Amino acid sequence: MLSQKSASIKSSAVRELLKYSKVPGIISLAGGIPATDLIDVDGIDITIREILAKEHRNLFQYSVTEGEENFRYQIANWIKDFNFKINPENILITNGSQQAIDLLNRVFLDKGDKVLVERPTYLAALQLFGYSDVEVVELDYTNDKLDLNSLEIVLKKGGVKMLYLTPNFANPSGKTIDYETRVGIIKLTHRHNVVIIEDDPYGFLRFSGEFIKSLFTIAQEIYGENHNVCYMSSFSKIFSPGLRLGWTAIPSKFIQAVVVAKQALDLHTSTLNQNIAAHYIESGKLNTRLDLLKNTYKKRRDLLINSLNKYVGDELSFNVPQGGMFLWCHLRSNINAKILLEESINENVIFVPGEVFFAHNPERNSLRLSYSMISSENSDSAAYRIFKSISKLKSNKTVLSN
Note the pLDDT tens digit of each residue in 129-178: 998 899 999 999 888 889 999 999 999 999 999 999 999 999 999 999 99
> Does residue 253 carry a pLDDT above 60?
yes
Q: Is the pLDDT of residue 2 over 90?
A: no
- Residues 6+ positions from 332 with CB-CB distance below 8 Å: 314, 315, 316, 317
167 vs 16, 232, 368, CA distance in Å?
26, 11, 17
| Residue 402, pLDDT score | 53
Work out the average pLDDT over 351-356: 96
Which backbone phi and psi does 329 adopt, to 5 degrees?
A: -125, 155
Give the span between the Cα atoms of 221 and 198, in whole angstroms. Answer: 16
Give pLDDT tens digits for 65-93: 999 999 999 999 999 999 999 999 999 99
The mean per-residue pLDDT over the stretch 7-20 comes to 66
Distance CA 190, CA 179 (A): 17
Determine the pLDDT at residue 239: 97
State how far the Cα of 105 lies from the Cα of 107, in Å rounded to an integer: 6
Closest CA to 151 of 182, 175, 116: 116
Mean pLDDT over residues 358-370, rounded? 96
Which pLDDT tens digit goes with each residue over 275-323? 999 999 999 999 999 999 999 999 999 999 999 999 999 999 999 999 9
Dihedrals phi, psi of 24, to nearest 5 degrees: -55, 135
The pLDDT confidence band at residue 378, using thresholds 50, 70 and 90, is: very high
pLDDT tens-digit map of 391-401: 999 888 655 55
Identify the burial level of 241 via C-beta atoms within 10 angstroms of its C-beta, where 0-12 means exposed, 13-18 middle and 19 or more buried: middle
* Contacts (Cβ under 8 Å, ≥6 apart) of 135: 112, 113, 114, 115, 159
Beta-bridge partner residues of 331:
316
What is the Cα–Cα distance from 147 to 17, expressed in whole angstroms?
Answer: 33
Strand pairing class (114-118; 145-146): unpaired
Percent of the chain with pLDDT strictly greater than 90: 88
Under the banding of pLDDT at 50, 70 and 90, the label for residue 31 is confident
Q: Which residues does 48 contact at the CB level (< 8 Å), separation at least 6? A: 276
Q: Could you report the per-residue pLDDT of 195-245, keeping only the tens digit for each?
A: 999 999 999 999 999 999 999 999 999 999 999 999 999 999 999 999 999
Q: Which residues of 15-46 are buried (b: 16+ CB within 10 A; e: fewer)?
A: eebeebeeeeebbbbbbbbbbeebebeebbee
Compute the mean pLDDT over every residue in the chain, rounded to the nearest whole number. 94
pTM above threshold 0.75 = yes
What pLDDT band is residue 7 in, cutting at 50, 70 and 90? low
